[in-house]
Amino acid sequence: MRWRRVVGLACAGTLLGSSLAVSAWAASADSKPASESAFSLQTAEAWHELSKQTFWLTDALERGQGVTSDGSSWIFNSTYGLLKTSLDGKTVIKRNVLAIPAAISQQGGDHIGDISYYNGLIYAPIEDGDSYSHPYIALYNANTLEYTGISYELPLSLHPGGVPWVAVDAARGQVYTAQWSQAPVLNVFRLSDMTLLKTVTLSQPIDRIQGAEVYNGYLYASSDNSSKTVYRIDPDTGEVTAALDRSNLGSGVEAQGIAVLPTSGGAILHILEVASNRISVIFRHYAP
pLDDT digits (tens, 9 = 90+) for 177-230: 999 999 999 999 999 999 999 999 999 999 999 999 999 999 999 999 999 999
Low-confidence ranges of the chain (pLDDT < 70): 1-44
Q: DSSP for the chain, please give it.
A: -HHHHHHHHHHTTS-HHHHHHHHHHHHHHHHS-----S---------EEEEEEEEEHHHHHHTSSEEEE-SSSEEEE-SS-EEEE-TTS-SEEEEESS-S-HHHHTTT--EE-B-EEETTEEEEEEE-TTT----EEEEEETTT--EEEEEEEPPGGG-TT---B-EEETTTTEEEE--SSSEEEEEEEETTT--EEEEEEEEEEE--EEEEEEETTEEEEEE-STT-PEEEE-TTT--EEEEE--GGG-TT-EEEEEEE---TTS--EEEEEE-TTSSEEEEEEEE-
End-to-end alpha-carbon separation of the chain, Å? Answer: 39
Give the pLDDT of residue 42.
Answer: 55
- Give the C-alpha separation, 84 to 141, whole Å: 11
What is the residue type of 259? A
Q: Give me the pLDDT at residue 250, please.
A: 87
User: Any idea of the CA torsion for 138, 258, 194, 170, to the nearest 10 degrees?
Assistant: 120
CA-to-CA distance for 259 and 2, rounded, in angstroms?
31
**CB-count exposure of residue 53 (10 Å: 0-12, 13-18, 19+):** middle
pLDDT of residue 129: 84
pTM exceeds 0.95 for this model: no
The residues pairing with 200 across neighbouring beta strands, listed in sequence order, are 186
Q: What's the confidence (pLDDT) of residue 130? A: 84
CB 44 within 8 A of CB 242: yes
- Nearest of 220, 159, 222, 213 to residue 185 by alpha carbon: 159
Rg (CA), the chain: 17
Angle between helices 2-11 and 16-31 (to 10 degrees): 170
Predicted pLDDT at 6:
29
pLDDT at 211: 98
Q: Which CATH number fits domain 2-33+47-287: 3.30.70.100, 2.115.10.20, 3.40.50.1820, 3.30.70.120?
A: 2.115.10.20
- What is the predicted pLDDT for the residue at 214? 98
CA angle (74 as vertex; 71, 79 as ends), nearest 5: 140
